[in-house]
């Protein structure tokens, strides 16, 4: 489960500081394979409780992703269960229907996907990544508009004499999306995050549970993108079970990994840099860490939540320049295995979502202050098999 990139205050990049409408959007796939969503009924408020279907097709829950387009509209990436093709579904800026008809992005040459990621590129356009069953890695992106100069004739106000002026004009691409391109390497899982300069960074695990990192090399939005290549970042550790990364309010990227009962951390050594510290032991627990997730803390740092047995621990980065974190403390309990995800509300307080595998029910609790959370899990929806979160900053048409 993956979510769209966010700024330190929790807003999508193009809407930060300007949004007059901000609600958490919950996309989900139910046990029948139907793709739909739940709306937050007000900023910082409860959820509708009703599952609104988007299409009549069936989708794969594990590869569902959510994000926003350049102009702030909700965007979804979903894998068609029958064909294995990936579909791109976005809100309709104009019209009576809230969402456009799904756009078929096709299928990588290697076949159906086992892991996907969706993130905006440095030009603001959507990038899609897929790992196939044969562990090959594929990339597809929406082509950006170009700008050309045109000379037009116009009559300035207050005059009767026409003049010629040269103005920039946005030109749509000949092809809306690129073809699928294979990236070198072999992985079984993949996730994406942003460097401070907007470049896309990828982290993933291979079949031997070895973690790798790859970063785009150009920070110019109009130049062809190239990749530095996959770097083995195991650093002497073995048995990686999950790896995830995010950038905090100090513009430094953090990579976290779980191995058994321990969580490890690597930190970028400088803003926009390609070097990271060695792995350090972030925390050790009395039992196996089954999952972890990252989100933006209200103090512009990062917040980490992890499930250990039935206990869910939380801790946040202390933004004093020391790189320190609060000690992990139990913030909630949930029986059985869960999929966890954090997302900020309009007021900056986080909500923690947990999809309980045994009951197929999605629950939510909300942060009250930095180290205290609401005591009772609120159900969002039942009979669900996968979900993804993003920010809805555009009122429904």
pLDDT tens-place string over residues 355-382: 999 999 999 999 998 889 999 999 999 9
- How distant, in Å, are the alpha carbons of 140, 219, 332 from that of 224? 13, 10, 46
Instruction: Examine residue 5 and state whether it is found in any structural domain, yes or no.
Output: no
Residue 235 main-chain phi, psi, to 5 deg: 55, 30
Instruction: Examine residue 375 and state whether it is found in any structural domain, yes or no.
Output: yes
> What's the whole-number mean pLDDT along residues 274-286?
96
Q: How far apart are CA 132 and CA 135, in angstroms?
A: 5
Kindly indicate the confidence band of residue 224, based on its pLDDT and cuts at 50, 70 and 90.
Answer: low
> What's the whole-number mean pLDDT along residues 182-209?
96
Instruction: Examine residue 7 and state whether it is found in any structural domain, yes or no.
Output: no
Q: How far apart are CA 30 and CA 212, in angstroms?
A: 32
Residue 98 main-chain phi, psi, to 5 deg: -70, -35
- How distant, in Å, are the alpha carbons of 29, 113, 304, 360, 383 from that of 32? 8, 19, 32, 12, 8
Instruction: Using alpha carbons only, give the angle 260, 281, 329 rounded to the nearest 5 degrees.
Output: 80
Number of domains in the chain: 1
In the predicted model, is pLDDT for residue 8 greater than 50?
no
pLDDT, residue 6, reads: 40
pLDDT, residue 353, reads: 98
- How distant, in Å, are the alpha carbons of 65, 110, 115, 130, 354 from that of 134? 21, 7, 12, 11, 30
pLDDT, residue 276, reads: 96
Phi-psi bin for 232: left (phi > 0), alpha (psi -120 to 50), beta?
Answer: beta
Instruction: Examine residue 163 and state whether it is found in any structural domain, yes or no.
Output: no
**Residue-range definition of the domain harbouring residue 49:** 13-143+170-392
Q: How far apart are CA 19 and CA 98, in angstroms?
A: 19
Q: pLDDT: is 164 or 54 the higher one?
A: 54
Average pLDDT, the chain: 91
CATH of the domain at 376: 2.120.10.10
pLDDT, residue 319, reads: 86
pLDDT, residue 34, reads: 98
Give the best-scoring range by mean pLDDT among 20-24, 119-123, 307-311: 307-311
> What's the whole-number mean pLDDT along residues 141-154?
83
Instruction: Examine residue 74 and state whether it is found in any structural domain, yes or no.
Output: yes
Kindly indicate the confidence band of residue 19, based on its pLDDT and cuts at 50, 70 and 90.
Answer: very low
> What's the whole-number mean pLDDT along residues 278-289?
98
Instruction: Examine residue 48 and state whether it is found in any structural domain, yes or no.
Output: yes
> What's the whole-number mean pLDDT along residues 205-213?
98
In the predicted model, is pLDDT for residue 3 greater than 80?
no
Give strand pairing partners of 325: 317
Q: How far apart are CA 294 and CA 7, in angstroms?
A: 13
Instruction: Examine residue 50 and state whether it is found in any structural domain, yes or no.
Output: yes
pTM here is 0.89
Q: How far apart are CA 349 and CA 394, in angstroms?
A: 20
Instruction: Examine residue 78 and state whether it is found in any structural domain, yes or no.
Output: yes
Q: pLDDT: is 222 or 262 the higher one?
A: 262
């Amino acid at each position: 489960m993956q979510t769209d990139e966010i700024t330190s205050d929790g807003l999508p990049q193009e809407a930060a500081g300007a949004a007059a409408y901000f609600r958490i959007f919950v996309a989900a796939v139910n046990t029948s394979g139907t793709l739909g969503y739940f709306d937050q009924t007000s900023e910082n408020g409860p959820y509708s409780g009703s599952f609104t279907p988007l299409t009549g097709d069936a989708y794969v829950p594990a590869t569902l992703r959510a994000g926003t387009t350049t102009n702030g509209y909700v965007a979804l990436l979903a894998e068609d269960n029958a064909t294995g093709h990936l579909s791109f579904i976005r809100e309709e800026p104009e019209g009576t229907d809230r969402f456009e008809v799904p756009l078929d992005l096709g299928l990588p040459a290697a076949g159906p996907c086992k892991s996907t990621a969706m993130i905006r590129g440095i030009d603001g356009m959507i990038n899609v990544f897929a790992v196939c069953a044969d562990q090959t890695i594929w990339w597809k992106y929406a082509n950006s508009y170009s700008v050309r100069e045109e000379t037009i004739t116009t009559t300035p106000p207050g005059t009767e004499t026409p003049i010629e002026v040269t103005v920039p004009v946005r030109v749509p691409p000949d092809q809306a999306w690129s073809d699928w391109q294979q990236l070198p390497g072999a992985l079984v899982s993949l996730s994406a995050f942003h460097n401070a300069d907007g470049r896309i960074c990828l982290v993933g695990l291979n079949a031997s549970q070895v973690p790798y990192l790859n970063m785009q090399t150009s920070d110019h939005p109009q130049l062809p993108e190239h990749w530095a290549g996959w770097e083995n970042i195991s650093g002497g550790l073995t048995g990686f079970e999950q790896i995830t990364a995010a950038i905090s309010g100090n513009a430094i990227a953090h990579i976290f990994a779980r191995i058994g009962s321990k969580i490890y951390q690597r930190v970028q050594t400088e803003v926009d840099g390609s070097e990271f510290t060695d792995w350090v032991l972030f925390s050790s627990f009395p039992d196996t860490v089954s999952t972890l997730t990252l989100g933006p803390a209200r103090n512009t740092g990062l917040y980490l939540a992890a499930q250990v047995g039935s206990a869910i621990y939380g801790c946040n980065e202390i933004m004093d320049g020391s790189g320190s974190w609060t000690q992990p403390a139990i913030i909630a309990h949930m029986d059985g295995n869960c999929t966890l995800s954090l997302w900020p509300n309009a007021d900056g307080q986080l909500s923690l979502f947990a999809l309980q595998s045994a009951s197929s029910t999605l629950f939510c609790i909300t942060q009250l202050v930095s180290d205290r959370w609401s005591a009772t899990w609120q159900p969002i929806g039942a009979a669900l098999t996968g979900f993804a979160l993003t920010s809805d900053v555009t009122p429904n048409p």
